[in-house]
Amino acid sequence: MVYIALLRAINLAAKRRVAMADLRAWLAALGYEDVRTLLQSGNAVFRTKKKEPTVRKELEAALEKGAGFHIDCVLRTEDELRAVVAADPLGHIATNPSRYFVSFVDVPGVWPEIDPAAFEPERVHLDGREAYFWVPEGSQNSKLLAAFPARPGQIATMRNWNTVTKLLAMTEK
């Protein structure tokens, strides 16, 4: 099984630093195969025969031991990530992939009830364990993204469309 690990809240400025070489070494030490990383924001692709609950538990324990602090992780299989990309519900309006985001949550989302028209031209599409966001002016001052905080006990991490599609391409090699 090919997994994509999306680590939450690492390498933000000088805080919570994790070198990708270390991440690859920790994953390899768990017996995961064909371990590759993308960018410095905590994206890894690897193969293992283990099931998702075991992988997540092992991964978070190894990350905490190696980094010295807890790192939440959201996992998707290759097929799940392929379905995310195939859905592409805002692709018809998202003209800049660096401003088109997918928020991945660990369990199906309990999303806030909002009036989407109040956030125009920003857009959102909610779909189970993913939320797709089009923020044409960027994420930094997005009122729409601010309206979607992670719920207590929920793990959420976001990637832009460029990263999502690059991760999918990495699974196909």
Quick: pLDDT tens for 77-131.
Answer: 999 999 999 999 999 999 999 999 999 999 886 788 889 899 999 999 999 899 9
With 0.85 as the threshold, say if the pTM is over it.
yes
Interhelix angle 52-67/20-29, nearest 10 degrees: 130
**Domains in the chain with CATH codes:** 2-78 (3.30.70.1280), 81-171 (no CATH)
As a whole number of angstroms, the distance between CA 91 and CA 88 comes to 5
Contact 70, 18 (CB under 8 A): no
**Euclidean distance between CA atoms 40 and 101, whole angstroms:** 17
Q: Which long-range contacts (CB under 8 A, 24 or more apart) does 20-29 make?
A: 22/66, 22/67, 23/63, 26/62, 26/63, 26/66, 27/59, 27/62, 29/62
Task: Read off the pLDDT of residues 40-88 as tens digits, 9 standing for 90 and up.
Answer: 778 999 999 999 999 999 999 999 999 898 899 999 999 999 999 999 9
